[in-house]
A and B are shown apart, each in its own frame.
Chain A
Amino acid sequence: MNRAIRHTWVVSVVMFLSLFVALSLIQVVFTDNLNSDGRNSRQIIADAGAPRGPITVDGAPIAESVPSENSQYDYQRVYHDPELYSSITGFFAVSEARGAQQGIESALNDYLSGQSDSQFFDRVTALFTGETLMGAQVELTLDPALQQQAYELIPEGQRGTIIVSDLRNGEIKAMVSEPSYNTNDLAVHSGTQFAENLENLENQEGMHLYYNDAVNRPIFPGSSFKLITGLAMLESGDYELDTELENPNELDLPQTERILPNFADGGCSQRAEAELTWIFAQSCNTPFAEAAMEMGEDALLESAEAYGWNQSFNIPLYVNPSQFPAVESDAELAYASIGQASVTATPLQMNMAAAAIGNGGTMMQPQLVDTIRGSDLQILSSPDPEVFNEVMDSSTAADLTEMMVATVEEGTAWRADSNRFQVAAKTGTAQRGDATETGPETYNTWITGFAPAEDPQYAVTVVYEGIDMGTGNDLAGSQMLTMLEAVIEE
């Protein structure tokens, strides 16, 4: 019997040896094959936990990867002043499938993760030296002080956007959209923590994590669209600054019951007939609607598309196209000419429109990135100023500037009037048509412009979405002035 027990033992040991052999094959010999299998999410985890390059502003990191101590991911993404920059950096969420990214984290993922073409040799070197591949460092064009100031201007609870750009080269100096959030909440490594934080954030009113109001949300531009209608009128040759136009309080629109009014509380009712500059400054609706119907859809469309409507681009954040779709009737065209109906614009698009006028008709490509440097600080990319489009000739730009100056000095943009320099601006107040039984209608209030008018440097756009008209106009005008006085040196 004992002999048989010994035989059983030998057989058992042989069975165990087969296990050791199999384990050593899996864990030692064929690890590379198994680790590189596309279905191996551990590789994805390793990638997600790899150190990403920092995003910096004025040399200081606003997003960086630091080694993490107790996590399946090797590095933790940390955001500094997250609320200030959340709409720009976006977030890098390792716990979402395959490391979801937003904002710059997404737009420049190749550079930040070290996978861009220009980092090819870094990757090869890392492969041979076994050193951890570091991602590239992205320096933004933002000015931290301006960004901070813009952030503090937007009152809590309001949905607002402030953009400051250098109209001479397209560099964006400040771009804030609120409500903002703490991006660190979404960079957590724990999946449950992520889900919990995500839910909390999404439950906050007006909070949107997956897009940036400044570039991704086209809304009704209202009368600020008269920069476009105005350009179409000047370019048609039928209108000049001193052309007298009829200014009825209401306009009967053809083929409909609808009536297009001037705003009842505006200054428009003072004059039944006025020159274009005055009409522009007071933002009277009826003359523009009349002119649009006379010029026809194509003239307006041409003008809008010259400014960049109906086209998406990257700065390198993806910018949604502002919409000027085909209109179905003259009535719709009339409404489109004053920035209602089916016309929409992103805050950045409106900022670009003002910047183009300020820059003598040449629109510069907006740019958020200053330089991208490899981990060895060698410059990988440094975007040069680039012309986006020649929107108009300089004399037309000068005419529009003159009307915008008048708007500030004697028109609707009076709140932006500075005693240091001349400001050129256009306001807009768009009806959202959202009046309900429980609440009054809310508006999108806009102001976009630039200064100094005689030597334009910076374009500023302030937008509030879904706000009551009085508050919105107060905030937009005065905040534009604040930002202009902050950015333009004495």
Chain B
Amino acid sequence: MPAQHETHPRPRRNIELVLLVIALTIGIGAQVLVGLNLEDAIDQRYWIEGGVQAALALTFHIVLRLRAKYADPFILPIVVTLNGLGIAMIHRLDFTGQYEGVADRQLMWTAVSMVAAMALLALLKDHRRLRQLTYISLAASVVLLFLPIVPGLGQDIAGAQVWISIGPMSFQPGELAKITLGIFFAGFLANNRDLILLAGKKIGPMTLPRVQDLGPLFLAWLIAMGVLVVQNDLGNALMFFGLFVAVIYVATSRISWIVIGGVFVAAGAVLAYQFVWHARNRFAIWLNAFDQQMYDQDLGSHQLVQGLFGLAHGGLTGTGLGSGSPQIVALANSDMIIVAFGEELGFLGLSAMLVLYLILFSRYMRAGLGTRDHFGKLLAVGLAVVLVLQVFVVVGGITRVIPMSGLVSPFLAAGGSALLANWLIVALVLLISHAARRPIVVGPMLNTTGEGASGTEDPLRGRETGQQHPVQNDAVRQQHPVPAPGDGERA
């Protein structure tokens, strides 16, 4: 097998380093451009902030070299780019007089999030250990989701009760529930997949699962649904439904689960529409955004319509950083930051950013494809779907593809909780991708009686066929030639 040496996984950390330099140039460059265009003095503040970003990114890179050197090399640069652009735009909006010092807070949260992600990477080492936390994750999810409605702790901001305040800080614990619910779904389905696949009644082309297999998932769905309806947070509700359906579909590969999931989601949507004014209102706004009455009413379509105006004003090429009027749109630096990008960077700039998201979730899924354990696959796909749905719900809401609901664009929008959660997800996916590409067999170090004999797979070989090869392969034989017949010559 002569090709083997060429296809043997390389760490590819150098590619990552090159891409990181580009990513930092984009992010920090954008911030300096903002400063130049708004005639701010490019003083040491810019260099310190840029330096902090660069130091964080490069430290992360080194941690990867040390702890997960086969991790996907594209994920970190893409995330650093998006995060840097987010800080630059938040910085730009700080000039408008409606916001102040948000960029500094965002940079601080970036630092906190990246350090937390690095710590998670270094301490966890292997994502499979999370599988042991399946049911603890469920409990944690419940706690995280319920925290904001605990009296005295919760805070109602703009109709959604998703915040808790600890002293002067506000935090959205629900953001972290994305991760814990992802772990629970992945762990539960990895454990019970076989059972779910084998058991059940076959009715026509569909195999219906047993009620006891369905139970825990239904419970989780019910809890998430209930809490989110109480909290009025439609965006997260939609995201959890989507996560639930996607992971169960990947686990079973059965359309029947999508149908069942779809029924659950539909039921949830109908219930929300019936009983939650908020949901009905968002739906009405979506359908009649330009209606004058809808535009004028409180919590009406004003924000959505102004967002569309902003995007249109940007046009194909945008007004340029600092030259638009993104502050006209409410929540321009968080929920509506996509509009700010659309206005100042135009269709081309915003599309480029969406392509970055597209590559990012593709890499997440690629990590799921590559890893061998079911838990890792399900977790990676679950986290990828979380990313897809966040972007889709935000951008789709802003562009009227779907009704608007309060989610924030990952890595871009101002907000510490979401940033932290998304960086932790990055750490997990990097670990999974590391596991996917890491060579396990080290060739000559093993012999037929060692660990290799029991069938540890070589990722390169196993990938195509799913077969497990014994360690004794051509390469080993070449390096340890069978004693030549000429042995006897000594005699």
Interface residues of A (CB under 8 A from B): 1-9, 12-13, 15-16, 18-20, 22-24, 26-28, 30-31, 33-35, 37, 39-42, 45, 69-72, 190-192
Chain B residues in 8 Å Cβ range of A2 = 369, 377
Q: Is A22's CB under 8 angstroms from B328's CB? A: no
Q: Are B311 and A23 in contact (CB under 8 A)?
A: yes
Chain B residues, CB < 8 A from A5? 250, 365, 368-369, 377, 381
B residues near A72, Cβ cutoff 8 Å: 319, 323-325
Decide yes or no whether B342 CB sits under 8 A from chain A. Answer: yes
For the complex, give the distance between the alpha carbons of A191 and B253 in Å: 57
Determine which residue in A19, A33, A70 has the highest number of CB atoms from chain B within 10 A of its CB, and name it: A19
- B400 touching A22, Cβ below 8 Å: yes
Q: Which of B307-329 contact A (CB under 8 A)?
A: 308-316, 319, 322-325, 328
Indicate if B354 sits at the interface (CB-CB under 8 A).
Answer: yes
Q: Are B401 and A19 in contact (CB under 8 A)?
A: yes
Which B residues are CB-close (under 8 A) to A39?
295, 305-306, 309
* CB–CB B388/A19 < 8 A: no
List, in ascending order, chain B residues with CB within 8 A of A45's CB: 325
A291 to chain B, nearest CB (A): 62
What 10 A-B pairs are tightest by C-beta distance, nearest first?
A34-B312, A22-B399, A27-B347, A192-B97, A4-B250, A40-B309, A4-B253, A31-B312, A12-B388, A70-B39
Within the complex, the shortest CB–CB distance from B286 to chain A, in Å, comes to 12
With A8-B246, A9-B362, A42-B309: A22-B37 Cβ-Cβ less than 8 Å = no
Which A residues touch B246, using CB under 8 A?
8
Within 8 A of A (CB), among B386-414: 388, 391-392, 395-396, 399-401
Beta-carbon contact of B377 and A1 below 8 Å: yes
Per DSSP, are chain B's interface residues mostly helix, strand or loop, or mixed?
helix
The distance in angstroms between the C-alpha atoms of A24 and B350, with both chains bound, is: 10
Q: Tell me, in angstroms, the Cα distance from A50 to B354 when the chains sit together.
A: 33
Q: How far is the CB of B261 from chain A (nearest CB, A)?
A: 13
Residues A12 and B314 in contact in the complex (CB < 8 Å), given A23-B350, A26-B308, A70-B322: no
Partner of B97 from A22, A69, A191 at Cβ < 8 Å: A191
* C-alpha gap A152/B314 in the complex (Å): 49
Please report the number of residue pairs spanning A and B whose Cβ atoms sit closer than 8 angstroms.
134
Find A22's partner among B362, B374, B396 (CB 8 Å cutoff): B396
| Chain A neighbourhood of B314, CB < 8 A | 27
Whether B250 lies near A28 (C-beta < 8 A) is no
* Cβ-defined partner of B37 (8 Å) among A15, A18, A40, A70: A70
What residues of chain A lie closer than 8 Å to B36, measured between beta carbons? 70
Given contacts A12-B385, A22-B401, A70-B38, contact A27 B357 (CB under 8 A): no
Task: Please tell me if the beta carbons of A9 and B305 are within 8 angstroms of each other in the complex.
Answer: no
Bound Cα distance A190, B95 (Å): 9
A13-B358 contact given A5-B368, A72-B324, A192-B97, CB 8 Å threshold: yes
A191 to B290, CA, bound (A): 28
Interface size class of B (residues with CB under 8 A): 35 or more
Partner of A37, one of B38, B309, B342, B377: B309
Name the one of A4, A13, A23 contacting B399, with C-beta atoms under 8 angstroms: A23
Interface centre among B305, B312, B323 (most CB of A within 10 A): B312
Name B residues whose Cβ lies closer than 8 Å to a Cβ of A. Answer: 36-39, 97, 246, 249-253, 290, 295, 305-306, 308-316, 319, 322-325, 328, 342, 346-347, 350-351, 354, 357-358, 361-362, 365, 368-369, 374, 377, 381, 384-385, 388, 391-392, 395-396, 399-401
CB distance B315 to A27 under 8 Å? yes
Q: Could you tell me if A3 and B253 are in contact, using CB atoms closer than 8 angstroms?
A: yes
Measured CA separation A26–B313 after assembly (Å): 10
Interchain CA distance A18-B67 in the complex, whole Å = 38
User: Residue among B37, B311, B319, B354 with the most chain A CB within 10 A?
Assistant: B311
Known pairs A13-B358, A70-B39, A72-B324; list 11 more (Cβ under 8 Å): A5-B369, A19-B354, A22-B396, A27-B311, A27-B316, A27-B342, A31-B313, A34-B311, A34-B313, A39-B306, A70-B323
Which residues on B sit within 8 Å (CB–CB) of A31? 312-313, 315
Q: Give Cα distance in the complex from A479 to B148, angstroms.
A: 74
Q: Is the pair A26, B325 in contact by a Cβ cutoff of 8 Å? A: no
CB <8 Å contact, A24 and B325? no
Q: Of A5, A22, A27, A40, which is in contact with the most chain B CB atoms at under 10 Å from its CB?
A: A27
By beta carbon, the residue of chain B nearest A37 is B309
**Cβ-defined contact, B308 with A8, below 8 A:** no
Partner of A12, one of B250, B368, B374, B384: B384
Q: List 25 A-B contacts (CB under 8 A).
A: A1-B253, A1-B374, A4-B249, A4-B251, A4-B253, A5-B368, A5-B381, A12-B365, A12-B385, A13-B358, A15-B388, A23-B347, A23-B395, A26-B312, A27-B311, A27-B342, A27-B350, A34-B308, A34-B309, A37-B290, A40-B309, A41-B309, A70-B37, A70-B38, A70-B322
User: What residues on B are CB-neighbors of A33 within 8 Å?
Assistant: 312
Q: Quick check: A12 and B361 within 8 Å, CB to CB?
A: yes
List of B residues within 8 angstroms of A1 by Cβ: 250-251, 253, 374, 377
Residues of B within 8 A of A28 (CB): 315-316, 347
Chain A proximity of B383: nearest CB distance (Å): 12
Provide the bound-state CA to CA distance between A13 and B358, in Å: 7
Q: Which residues of B contact A34 (CB under 8 A)?
A: 308-309, 311-313
Residues in B whose Cβ lies below 8 Å from that of A70: 36-39, 322-323
CB proximity of A191 to chain B, nearest CB, Å: 6
**Separation of A72 and B324 alpha carbons in the complex (Å):** 5
Q: Which of A4, A6, A18, A42 contacts B396 (CB 8 A)?
A: A18
Shortest Cβ distance from residue A331 to the other chain B in the assembled complex, whole angstroms: 55
Say yes or no: A23 contacts B328, CB within 8 Å: no
Q: Which residues of A contact B391 (CB under 8 A)?
A: 16, 19
Asked if B401 and A42 make an inter-chain contact with CB atoms under 8 angstroms apart, the answer reads: no
Please measure, in the bound complex, the distance between the C-alpha atom of A11 and the C-alpha atom of B153, giving whole angstroms. 39
- Pick from A18, A26, A71, A192 the residue with the most CB of B within 10 Å: A26
In the complex, chain A residues whose CB is within 8 Å of the CB of B346? 27
Contacts A8-B365, A41-B328 known; A19 to B395 CB distance under 8 Å?
A: yes
Interface centre among B325, B374, B384, by most chain A C-beta atoms within 10 angstroms, is B325
Chain B residues whose CB sits within 8 angstroms of the CB of A8 once the complex forms: 246, 249-250, 365, 381, 384-385
Beta-carbon contact of B399 and A26 below 8 Å: yes
B351 touches A23 (CB 8 A): yes
Set of chain B residues within 8 Å of A69, measured between Cβ atoms: 39
B253:A35 contact, CB within 8 angstroms? no
Q: How far is the CB of B310 from chain A (nearest CB, A)?
A: 7
